[in-house]
Amino acid sequence: MIKTKKKGLLIVISGPSGSGKGTIIKDLLQKNENIWLSISCTSRQPRGSEQNKIDYYFLTKEEFEEKIQRDEMLEYAQYGENYYGTPKEYIKSHLDNGEDVILEIEIQGALKIKELLPETLFIFILPPSMQELKKRLEGRNTETKEKIEKRFATAYNEINEVSKYNYVVVNDTVENASNKINAIIIAERCRVDRIEEVYLNTPEEKIHENIIDKDLKNEEINI
């Protein structure tokens, strides 16, 4: 009886470094086949085993700036000497095809998208505690103590932006967190403003309409 809009949801997922965003999204992609993860562009060099068109679209600084000039970036930001951003290409086609599109981006980029596309679904990932966040950052063993302390301080500032998001999910376990996000997506698809039309085309409804029509014809209506 209800026909919903075919267009997919644009979903922005943010959170401080060490909150587990990437791991949660990987688990979510295994549970929900209707989700497409957008790949960001960057002008930095690949690290370790990172691959072009899988982890990032790796561009030169000049190529990235050309995309900015041609208005091909949905959002972008510059950290140090490197650009990071979300290309418009592919996102629209996936949304129009009914797929939900996830953008895993930093808060700065998320707030830019909120200005452009306020109907986007914004989800913020929190660690269960700041002590646990620090433990996760230290457990990576990939950064110096100074960098870890800087990331930890940045996390406090980022968490202050949580009120600008639609939902907050605490990553106590990956399983719980991905289940909550999946439930949010299901609930959002049931929103009234996603209804395209309501149609009544069942035999029971036709019988009901005929009965009402007959009653109205035989009833004197006083105004």
pLDDT at 208 over 80: no
Verify that 167 and 64 share a domain, yes or no.
no
Verify that 213 and 115 share a domain, yes or no.
yes
Owning domain of residue 72: 39-89
| 206 belongs to a structural domain | yes
Verify that 43 and 153 share a domain, yes or no.
no
| 94 belongs to a structural domain | no
Q: What is the pLDDT of residues 159-170, one digit of tens each?
A: 889 999 999 999
Higher pLDDT, 151 or 81: 81
Verify that 120 and 13 share a domain, yes or no.
yes
Q: Residue 150 is part of a domain; what is its CATH number?
A: 3.40.50.300
Q: Quick check: helix, strand or coil at residue 23?
A: helix
- Considering its fold, how many domains does the chain have in total? 2
116: left (phi over 0), alpha (psi -120 to 50) or beta: alpha
Q: Are 135 and 92 in contact (CB under 8 A)?
A: no
Q: What is the mean pLDDT of residues 201-223?
A: 59
Distances (CA, A) of 159 to 57, 110, 122, 125, 221: 28, 13, 14, 9, 62
Q: What is the mean pLDDT of residues 20-34?
A: 94
Verify that 71 and 145 share a domain, yes or no.
no
Verify that 132 and 27 share a domain, yes or no.
yes
| 23 belongs to a structural domain | yes
Q: What is the pLDDT of residues 38-70, one digit of tens each?
A: 999 999 999 888 899 998 999 999 999 999 999
pTM, two decimals, is 0.79
User: Which of 48, 70, 89 marks a domain boundary?
Assistant: 89
Strands 100-104 and 121-126, by their bridges, are: unpaired
DSSP H helices in the chain:
21-31, 61-69, 91-96, 107-116, 130-139, 145-159, 174-189, 203-218
Verify that 128 and 212 share a domain, yes or no.
yes
Q: How confident is the model at residue 223, as a pLDDT?
A: 43
Verify that 194 and 109 share a domain, yes or no.
yes
Verify that 116 and 62 share a domain, yes or no.
no
User: Which of 54, 89, 124 marks a domain boundary?
Assistant: 89
Q: How confident is the model at residue 221, as a pLDDT?
A: 43
Tell me the percentage of the chain whose pLDDT exceeds 70.
84
Instruction: Provide the mean pLDDT of the chain.
Output: 86
The angle formed by the CA atoms of residues 171, 19 and 134, to the nearest 5 degrees, is: 115
User: Which of 89, 117, 150 marks a domain boundary?
Assistant: 89
Q: What is the mean pLDDT of residues 96-103?
A: 95
